[in-house]
Amino acid sequence: MRALVGVALIALIGCGKGTAEIALGTVGETMAYDQTAFTVQTGQKVHVVLSNHATSQAMKHNWVLVKPGTEADVANGGVAAGEGSGYLKQGDANVIAFTPLSQPGGQVEVTFVAPAAGSYPFICSFPGHYTLMKGTLTVTP
Ligand SMILES: [Cu+2]
């Protein structure tokens, strides 16, 4: 009986976290996300939806969560990989989660489990965008 109560409690705690819904967009024809800071809990399921509000073909965008300090490496690897690879090096160990590349007017999404507590940068890896198009995902314990 005690074991059953324990299982029920764990299930409840698991439900309490729920899925973190992150909906962000891009700002017109600029290299900018309309929101740049989000907070989720470690182990929480995170659903990110990126809406690309641009119309210019130079304004394709994605959302790439990376290990701290690896923004330039990931972006440069993406440029080398090219558009066919969504401007991401395949199997890049510095990438935690990423959406496909969104066409202007499009919407892309990704679901992942939040990593260990910490502060993680997210960037757009389209060539030339990452220095301006970025934000921070804070993961709490
Ligand atoms: Cu971009």
Under DSSP, the state recorded for 56 is: S
Domain of 133, CATH number, reads 2.60.40.420
| CA 2 to ligand 1 center in whole angstroms | 53
**Is residue 11 classed as helix, strand or coil in its secondary structure?**
helix
pLDDT at 6 over 70: no
Under DSSP, the state recorded for 103 is: P
| CA 96 to ligand 1 center in whole angstroms | 18
Domain assignment present for residue 61? The answer is yes
Output the pLDDT for position 16.
Answer: 54
Give strand pairing partners of 47.
21, 111
Output the pLDDT for position 58.
Answer: 84
Domain assignment present for residue 4? The answer is no
Domain assignment present for residue 84? The answer is yes
For range 99-119, the mean pLDDT? 98
For range 80-103, the mean pLDDT? 98
Output the pLDDT for position 13.
Answer: 46
For range 9-20, the mean pLDDT? 62
Total number of domains in the chain: 1
**What distance, in Å, lies between the first and last C-alpha atoms of the chain?**
30
Pairing of strands 19-25, 45-51: parallel
Domain assignment present for residue 128? The answer is yes
Domain assignment present for residue 2? The answer is no
Mean residue pLDDT across the chain: 92
The residue to which tokens 């399921």 are assigned: 45
Domain assignment present for residue 93? The answer is yes
The pair phi, psi for residue 21, each rounded to 5°, is -95, 120
Pairing of strands 134-140, 37-41: parallel
Domain assignment present for residue 5? The answer is no
| CA 1 to ligand 1 center in whole angstroms | 54
| CA 12 to ligand 1 center in whole angstroms | 39
* Cα angle for residues 25, 31, 36 (degrees, 5° grid): 50
Domain of 105 in residue numbering reads as 18-140
Overall pTM surpassing 0.75 (yes/no): yes
For range 91-119, the mean pLDDT? 98
Percentage, residues of the chain above pLDDT 70: 89
| CA 31 to ligand 1 center in whole angstroms | 5
Residue pair 38/97 in contact by the 8 Å Cβ criterion: no
